[in-house]
């Protein structure tokens, strides 16, 4: 009994089918695109960058109010509308809007509270202040903008 061995040419060509590089790149691209579209829908609404920017914006407004108090030798205010998410420096006609998804809290002297949602931080002609703290939060992330009552120094705390 002789057994014949098929020649390599006559055997059906077997090709193992795998994933090509092109297919892999396409799948990864689709996942990246879907992630970019879906992730903002589940986000907290305010990014860390927007939160930090809002804290810096408030600190700049406080520094402007302090500078005006020193330069013009009169009391100057930064008025914060917690419900409306905006603030205004005393004689500056512009109102500065903050991101809508932001949580704001104002801690200031009792006599500088206008109502339940509006209050002010006061700066005196010598550079001092009534002191206070503005807390900006979005989810678990927060920044605190502190105003030292004695020196009027403004600091942003993480």
- Residues 55-101: tens digit of each pLDDT: 999 999 999 999 999 999 999 999 999 999 999 998 889 999 999 88
Residue 59 in domain = yes
Q: Which CATH number covers residue 88?
A: 3.55.40.10
Residue 73 in domain = yes
Instruction: Give whole-number Cα distances, 128 to 58, 64, 70, 76, 152, in Å.
Output: 18, 13, 9, 11, 4
Q: Print the domain residue range for 91.
A: 48-157
The model's pLDDT over 7-59, given as tens digits with 9 standing for 90+, comes to 555 555 666 678 899 999 999 999 999 988 887 666 657 788 899 999 999 99
Cβ atoms of 47 and 101 closer than 8 Å? no
Cβ atoms of 155 and 62 closer than 8 Å? no
The whole-model pTM stands at 0.72
The per-residue pLDDT for 12 is 58
Residue 7 in domain = no
Cβ atoms of 135 and 144 closer than 8 Å? yes
Residue 52 in domain = yes
> Confidence class of residue 6 from pLDDT cuts 50, 70 and 90?
low
Contacts of 123 (CB under 8 A, 6+ apart): 62, 65, 66, 68, 69, 70, 75, 76, 77, 78, 129, 152
Residue 74 in domain = yes
Cβ atoms of 154 and 147 closer than 8 Å? yes
The model's pLDDT over 99-149, given as tens digits with 9 standing for 90+, comes to 988 999 999 999 999 898 999 999 999 999 999 999 999 888 999 999 999
CA distance 69 to 63: 10
Q: Quote the number of domains for the chain.
A: 1
Residue 41 in domain = no
Residue 63 in domain = yes
Give bridge partners of residue 157 from the DSSP assignment: 144
Place of tokens 């092109």: 22
Residue 6 in domain = no
Indicate the burial class of 123 (C-beta count within 10 angstroms; 0-12, 13-18, 19 or more): buried
Instruction: Give whole-number Cα distances, 9 to 17, 88, 113, in Å.
Output: 20, 86, 93
């Amino acid at each position: 009994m002789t057994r014949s061995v098929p020649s390599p040419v006559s055997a059906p060509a077997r090709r193992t089918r795998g994933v090509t590089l092109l297919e892999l790149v396409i799948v990864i691209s689709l996942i990246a695109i879907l992630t970019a579209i879906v992730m903002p829908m589940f986000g907290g609404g305010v990014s860390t960058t927007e939160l930090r920017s809002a804290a810096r914006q408030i600190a700049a407004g406080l520094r402007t109010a302090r500078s005006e108090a020193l330069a013009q030798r009169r009391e100057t205010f930064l008025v914060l509308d917690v419900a409306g998410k905006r603030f205004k420096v005393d004689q500056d006609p512009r109102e500065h809007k903050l991101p809508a998804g932001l949580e704001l809290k104002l801690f200031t002297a009792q006599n500088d509270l206008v109502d339940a949602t509006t209050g002010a931080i006061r700066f005196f002609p010598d550079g001092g202040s009534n002191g206070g703290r503005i807390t900006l939060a979005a989810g678990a992330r927060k920044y605190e903008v502190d105003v030292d009552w004695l020196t009027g120094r403004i600091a942003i705390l993480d």
